[in-house]
Amino acid sequence: MPAALRAIGLLAVGMALVLGLAWAAVMVVSDNRLNQRVDVPRETIAVPTDITSIQRGQHLASAVAACVDCHGPSLAGKIFVDDPALGRIVSPNLNRGGIGSTFADADFVRAHTGFAIGGVAPLGHPAPLTTLVDEDLLAWDAIWAAGGHPHTVFRLTPDELLRIAAGRVVRVV
């Protein structure tokens, strides 16, 4: 019996040593990866100074300033209509965080679109939705839309977006 206990003891000590060495190896490898430095070359960004670009910037700045009318002072969204006969119409959150910002309720978005927040595709909703397309999108050759999952997008033209979403072009001021 004492020989069996000694063998079990040696086996336990051996396993503890192996586990200790494995843990130390994992710590060394993870520490090396966490402290790894990557040199990223600096890129020169060309800032356009022509009058057309400046006017475009002024237009975009004034358009964003007008967003507070619909989306609230912090652009975190607000309730437009809350009427039992009409339903609840909520403008979406236009910012990505900050004090006082809130996102649309995930259950609300999924119930009305069939998709998770961040992946709402322009088609395939359980019921028809009104889709408003900013006329500024028409200036682009290609745009990207969510593909039904927060990590999936697809490329299309503004005309294709209007067609598949039965969208209506509006001027955002």
pLDDT in tens, 25-76: 999 988 888 888 877 788 787 888 899 888 888 887 777 777 777 777 777 7
pTM of the model: 0.41
Q: Which domain holds residue 128?
A: 116-173
Query: How far are the Cα atoms of 58, 59, 61, 121, 170 from residue 66, in angstroms, in the given order?
Result: 12, 11, 9, 26, 14
Let me know: does 143 contact 137? Beta carbons within 8 Å.
yes
pLDDT at residue 98 tops 50: no
What's the CATH number where 132 sits? Answer: 3.90.960.10
Domain count, the chain: 2
